[in-house]
């Protein structure tokens, strides 16, 4: 049987681990801290500069199964402080290529929550940059378009996937460094 929940920070007969909580004068009550924002007077403190907005980037390839998935995974792993990323394909494949996942796993880069998406799924999003690795022309409603010439590894050997992953990793790292440098300009 689970004991009933008691108020005041006591569970059964056991006290709170950090001792009694004594609110400071002018501090919000524990309930308001959980259920709502603290009063304006409690929010006063040293001025902290807001974090710069992340650059919104869309990586595009043909099937959203190899190249754009790799770029998305590298950008999330290495540049999540500067980039908000998605990927899409001109004609999305039914699944991420197993060799794509294998190569990313070899580099200790997670991609297990990624899946192929079409451009139509991204059309409502606003992007600052659209990176086209498809080798084909297309239009997108938002974002500056750049071309990355990257070989399509689909149907190739694991070594080809590794080579493509190395190239994409370098391009993504350059994008991350350029973005961080732009944020840090005085």
CATH number of residue 113's parent domain:
3.40.50.2300
**Of 94, 90, 74, the residue nearest 82 (C-alpha):** 74
Instruction: Look at residue 113 and tell me if it is in a domain.
Output: yes
Question: Can you tell me which residue has the tokens 């001792």?
Answer: 19
Strands (E), 48-142: 55-61, 83-89, 129-132
For the whole model, what pTM was predicted? 0.72
Q: What sign for the dihedral angle of Cα 125, 64, 162, 112?
A: positive
Provide the number of structural domains found in the chain.
1
Instruction: Look at residue 66 and tell me if it is in a domain.
Output: yes
HSE-up (13 A, CA, CB side) for residue 163: 10
Instruction: Look at residue 39 and tell me if it is in a domain.
Output: no
76-80, 101-105, 140-144: least confident range: 140-144
Instruction: Look at residue 126 and tell me if it is in a domain.
Output: yes
User: In which domain, by residue range, is 86 found?
Assistant: 55-183
Instruction: Look at residue 84 and tell me if it is in a domain.
Output: yes
Task: Please give the residue that has the higher pLDDT: either 4 or 64.
Answer: 64
Q: Confidence class of residue 129 from pLDDT cuts 50, 70 and 90? A: very high
Instruction: Look at residue 1 and tell me if it is in a domain.
Output: no
Instruction: Look at residue 17 and tell me if it is in a domain.
Output: no
Instruction: Look at residue 120 and tell me if it is in a domain.
Output: yes
- Tens of pLDDT along 39-86? 444 444 455 555 558 999 999 999 999 999 999 999 999 999 999 999
């Amino acid at each position: 049987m689970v004991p009933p929940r008691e108020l005041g920070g006591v569970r059964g007969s056991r006290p709170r681990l950090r001792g009694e909580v004594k609110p400071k004068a002018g501090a919000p009550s524990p309930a308001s801290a959980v259920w709502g924002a603290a009063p304006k007077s409690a929010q006063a403190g040293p001025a902290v500069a807001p974090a710069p907005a992340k650059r919104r980037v869309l990586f595009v390839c043909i099937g959203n199964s190899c190249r754009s998935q790799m770029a998305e995974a590298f950008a999330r792993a290495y540049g999540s402080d500067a980039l908000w990323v998605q990927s899409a394909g001109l004609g999305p494949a039914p699944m991420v290529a197993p060799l794509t996942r294998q190569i990313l796993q070899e580099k200790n880069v997670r991609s297990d929550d990624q899946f192929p998406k079409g451009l139509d799924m991204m059309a409502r999003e606003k992007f600052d940059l659209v990176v086209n690795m498809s080798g084909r022309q297309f239009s997108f409603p938002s974002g500056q378009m750049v071309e990355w010439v990257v070989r399509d590894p689909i149907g190739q050997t694991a070594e080809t996937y590794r080579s493509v992953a190395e190239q994409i990793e370098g391009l993504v790292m350059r994008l991350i460094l350029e973005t961080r440098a732009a944020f840090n300009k005085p």
